[in-house]
Structure 1
Amino acid sequence: MTFLNTLRLLTFGTSLGFSVIILGLCANILSLTLNLNNRYFVFSAFGLAIGILTVLFLLPMLVIDLTRKGPMTSWIVVELPVLSVLWVLWLAVAADAVSDVVASDLFSGSCDYLNSKVNTVCNSYKAIEAFGFLTWLILMAYTIVLLVFACISQSRGNKAVWTSSVRDTDFLAYPNGKAAPSMNQYTGGSGAAMPMPPQGHAYPPNGQQMPVYQNTPTPPQGMPYGGQVTYPQA
């Protein structure tokens, strides 16, 4: 199991847990406010809808990926837009909760009202605000990390990364067994690669001019390089 797949499981699991919590809190606020004065906070209805939407998207994506290999619902090109839409919606839920309460001038302090139902709504609102921002941050962070790793994989020649699942993809590997560029080669002071010298010769120290070997004939059979052989000048 790769690091990114582990991060994906943690992100999906945590987001689903927070979504279920917010879904229950929003449903409770809707019930209480409708019974109190036949009105409701917009953020509670909005949070309820986004909580249901998150469960409907993330739960099937997670379960199908665990039971099947490489389903379309787990493709990176599908995950990225779905998660991007979800974190934007969760940011909107948290921001809407803050704006609704500020506009109505409620719950600005501690939840110590005489009415127990109002206290419940106050505590539920603060929990929705906190879990909404946390869900937004978790989904947004994972989406950015996944996008960066997918771009790295494509830059290394893996053109099929967008239609692969996170579980089946090695984002840092080179495709078709191609090795990474090696630094074990002769380089000059400027970093440019230089050809291998003839057998028995070595490069001069840094700062000296490299000898140029041109039109050097093959030595007589049985005589290795490095001996006292004088070659005719070209």
Structure 2
Amino acid sequence: MSLIPTFRLVSLGSVTFISLIALALSAHISAVTGDFFFGYFTFAAMALAVAILSVLSIPAMITVDMKRKGALTSMIVVEIGWLGLLWVLWLAAGGLGAQATGVVWPSGCGFVNKEVDTMCREFPAVTALSFINWFILFSYTMTILVLSIMAASRGHSVWFSSVSQTDFFAPAIAPAVQAVQVVPVMGGMPVQYTGQYPPNVMQVPVMDNQVPQAGWAGQPVMATSPYPTSGTPVPGPYPQV
């Protein structure tokens, strides 16, 4: 059994759990800044929005994939696109958090006011959680993308199937060999043969005293003709064609 579905559940489950923690911390930062500074920090609002998107969408993707096979949200191409957008947003939230921490708290924490001191300590926590989510989603999407490209190069179209139903390590599909039917021609008219032949037909002209039998292209089987040749009358009766 492939470990890729398990890897998917562990990765997306971890992102959901971390997003819940980041959601709580960023919401508390926004609440404190609204009470004390009558505003909000951009990175906290960014982390809050991305956390909400992650918590709402990722569990829904997992549930739909378990309940309904072939759903749009379970397709590899859709999953890579959406999770790729999320890791970009988490990376942006982490970068803004790192910048805000250095600017707002250059001397570190240790304030007398407990609310402000708690908020100060939540800045690096939200930043770290944002980078962790970015790393998990980036690793997962890049792994699935590489495996999908490798499977497609072996002749398996996996882009519109789900990760849980895809065998990324299936052997390559051997290319089909196209056969060509050889139909002998007698006097400008093809000789009819019974049996099953490939659709492609190649006509081979008849030489004097010889008729090529049905065979494969490049390997006609030669046989003596039962028909009279030009200038050499042969008594009948003749075979019917």
Same fold (TM over 0.5): yes
1:164 aligns with 2:139: no
Partner of 2:70: 70
Partner of 1:136: 134
Q: Is the 8 A contact 2:98 2:124 kept in 1?
A: no
Q: Report the Cα distance in structure 2 between the residues aligned to 1:70 and 1:107, rounded to whole angstroms.
A: 49
TM-score (normalizing by structure 1): 0.71
- 1:124 CA drift (Å): 1.1
Q: Is the 8 A contact 1:27 1:48 kept in 2?
A: yes
Q: Is the 8 A contact 1:158 1:174 kept in 2?
A: no
2:80 partner SS: helix
* CA distances 1:180-219 after superposition (whole Å, capped 9, x unpaired): xxxxxxxxxxxxxxxxxxxxxxxxxxxxxxxxxxxxxxxx
* CA distances 1:130-178 after superposition (whole Å, capped 9, x unpaired): 100000000001111000100111111112x0011010011111377x6
Letter in 2 for 1:149: L
Stretches of structure 2 lacking an aligned partner (at least 5 in a row) = 175-241
Displacement over 2 Å in runs of 4+: 105-111
- 1:45 CA drift (Å): 1.0
Letter in 1 for 2:91: L
Q: Report the Cα distance in structure 1 between the residues aligned to 2:77 and 2:60, rounded to whole angstroms.
A: 16
Letter in 1 for 2:80: L
Letter in 1 for 2:104: L
1:51 aligns with 2:46: no
Q: Report the Cα distance in structure 2 between the residues aligned to 1:37 and 1:147, rounded to whole angstroms.
A: 44
Letter in 1 for 2:75: W
Stretches of structure 1 lacking an aligned partner (at least 5 in a row) = 179-234
Letter in 2 for 1:113: F
Q: Report the Cα distance in structure 2 between the residues aligned to 1:175 and 1:56, rounded to whole angstroms.
A: 38
Partner of 1:112: 110
TM-score (normalizing by structure 2): 0.69
Partner of 1:124: 122
- 1:109 CA drift (Å): 4.6
Q: Which has the higher strand share?
A: 2
Q: Report the Cα distance in structure 1 between the residues aligned to 2:149 and 2:121, rounded to whole angstroms.
A: 43
Q: 1:153 aligns with which of 138, 148, 151?
A: 151
Q: What aligned pairs does 1:74-223 form with structure 2 within 5 A after superposition? A: 74-102=74-102, 105-159=103-157, 161-174=158-171
Partner of 1:29: 29
Q: Which has the higher helix share?
A: 1
Seq. identity, %: 39
- 1:33 CA drift (Å): 1.0
* CA distances 1:55-95 after superposition (whole Å, capped 9, x unpaired): 22212101111222232211101011111110000000000
- 1:11 CA drift (Å): 0.9
1:2 aligns with 2:2: yes
